Each structure stands twice: as C-alpha cells, then as structure tokens.
Amino acid sequence: MAERIDGKAVAAEVVEKVRTAADALRAKTGVQTGLAVVIVGEDPASQVYVASKGRKAKECGFHSVEHALPEDTSEDDLVALIERLNADPAIHGILVQLPLPKHIDEGRIIQLIDPDKDVDGFHFINVGKLGTGEVATAFVPCTPAGSMLLIERVLGRDLSGKTAVVVGRSNIVGKPMFNLLLAANATVTVAHSRTADLPALCRTADILVAAVGRPQMIKGDWIKPGAVVIDVGINRIPAPERGEGKTRLVGDVDFDGAEKVAGAITPVPGGVGPMTIAMLMANSVVSAYRAAGEEPPVF
C-alpha cells in the first residue's frame, strides 16, 4: 500500500514557518505583511475560499484586508481598486478571487496587478520568469508550488533521472507544474484530453500529477508501481451510501485502485488542497521581505 502524503501536516509546517518569518520581519523592520483579497459577487464557493484565506492570513499575523464588491461592480471601479492596492505600501500581496462576473475582463484585471504583489503568480512577468527557469524570483502559482513541496518530501529537490507526466494543461496548474518539474531536472510530458493512449503514457511516470477536473478518471492500472501520485483534482460526486442527496469529495485519481500500486499518493481531501492556501501565505511573506529589502525565506 502506498504511503499517504499528508498535505495537512506539511501545510501546517509551512504556515508555522510563515508566521515565524512574518514576526521576525516585523520585529526587525516594523513591516507587517499585508494581504488584500478582492471578491466580486456572491459565488458561494468563492466566499468559502476567501473566508479561509482571511482566517489563515490572520493566523500568520498578517495585516489582512478583504474587499467584497457587489456583482454589478463595473470593470472601471475594479481597476481603480487594483490601482489603489498597487500603490499602497502596507499591501504586499493582492489576490483577486476568480471567477469574476462575465462583464469584467478577467485577463485585463490579472495583468493590472503589480507583478511584485501578484501572489497568485498569474501575471505574465511571473509566468515568464517561471517559464525561463527564474524560479527563485518568480511568484509561482500556489497549487503547483504546494504540489512540488509534497513531491520533494518524498523524492528530494533534485528529480534527475525521474520521468514525470502532468495530466492537464491549464495555466493555473498544468503548465506551471511542467515548468517546476523541469527546473528540478525531471523529464516531463504534459498530457491532456487529446493525448493518444493516455493510460500507457501515465504508466511511464515516476511522478504522476493529475489536474484534469474529471472525477476518478485515472485508474490504478494506469499507474507505474512505486510512482509518486499527486492528485490536484477536487470533485464533488453523489454519495447515496451517506443518505439521500449527500455528496463526497474525490480527486481525479481513483484513490482505492491507485493506493494499491503507487509508492506514495496524496489523498482528497487532505492532500494538495491545504497546500494551496499555505503557499499563498508563503508568497505573501516573501513579497513583504522583498519590499523591505530583506532576504526572503525559502519554502
């Protein structure tokens, strides 16, 4: 049976390191790490995420600000808010919760965020740094950054000689994951819905990252014996065994089948999920250190 990679435990370690680093920066320079979260509209899932980010920021000792705007906020008003946050020296990280309402150009808003405060890692400057191997100075998107930390816990930082397959090519997970694995010296393939014979390709992977958003798509017999499996998917499916109308969370990997074959695997929930918010906190404190002219911690 595979080792279960405990994302909750690793995330707690990261948050503790963030809290210690934030306290040290404040004691030395008087700078308190500031994180601003912007949410537009009433999307229930987004509100849950924003609330959990706010709680975690306070736990880390941050100056935490939330801007909750109505659904009908104009693009110009949102632009004005981003520009104010860019200019505010007390704010080191700006996070705009996606998705935005349809009348707002998401791409334009993301690219307006100061790249030095882009703790989500979506600005083209941070994307470009990551794509050219400048990992140390880039803000890396939080989910892939957290996934890499979990891989490092099992295999170490140097992945020379390892073959990795990333299933999914999104800008938020698949592509940055590819670049991080490549920077760690793995040999990487990105697969997606149009890949021929996906099961055979997955079976070549020492490291398999699933980020497709399709529940339990990757089966146990797709996995190379002993592989490290990182399941980024969070999908809600019916769970009639729990009662009428009940649901449960599953990943993109068929966990029960995969656990029998893999060497190590992340569960859902409790794997990659907690790492995402932890790495958002890490990026924020790094931004504060850079703004203060201090050497930032490494996570």
In contact, 15 and 56? CB cutoff 8 Å: yes
Domain boundaries, the chain: 26-117, 140-274
For residue 181, the surrounding DSSP H or E stretch is: helix 174-183
Residues linked to residue 40 through DSSP beta bridges, in sequence order: 69
Q: Per-residue pLDDT tens for 74-86?
A: 999 999 999 999 9
Q: What is the pLDDT of residue 266?
A: 98
Q: Which pair of structure tokens corresponds to residue 241? A: 């065994």
**Is the pLDDT reported for residue 43 higher than 90?**
no
The answer to whether the annotation marks 245 as part of a ligand binding site is no
The answer to whether the annotation marks 193 as part of a ligand binding site is no
Distance of CA 16 to the CA centre of its chain: 18
CA angle 272, 170, 46 (to 5 degrees): 60
Q: What is the pLDDT of residue 31?
A: 98
For domain 26-117, the CATH architecture is: 3-Layer(aba) Sandwich (3.40)
Q: What is the pLDDT of residue 45?
A: 84
The answer to whether the annotation marks 214 as part of a ligand binding site is no
For domain 140-274, the CATH architecture is: 3-Layer(aba) Sandwich (3.40)
Work out the percent of the chain whose per-residue pLDDT is above 70: 100
The answer to whether the annotation marks 234 as part of a ligand binding site is yes
Question: Once rounded to an integer, what is the mean pLDDT over residues 151-170?
Answer: 97
Q: Per-residue pLDDT tens for 105-148?
A: 999 999 999 999 999 999 999 999 999 999 999 999 999 999 99
Where residue 243 falls among pLDDT bands split at 50, 70, 90? Answer: confident
**Is the pLDDT reported for residue 160 higher than 90?**
yes
Question: Once rounded to an integer, what is the mean pLDDT over residues 180-206?
Answer: 96
- Residues classed as catalytic: 53, 97, 120
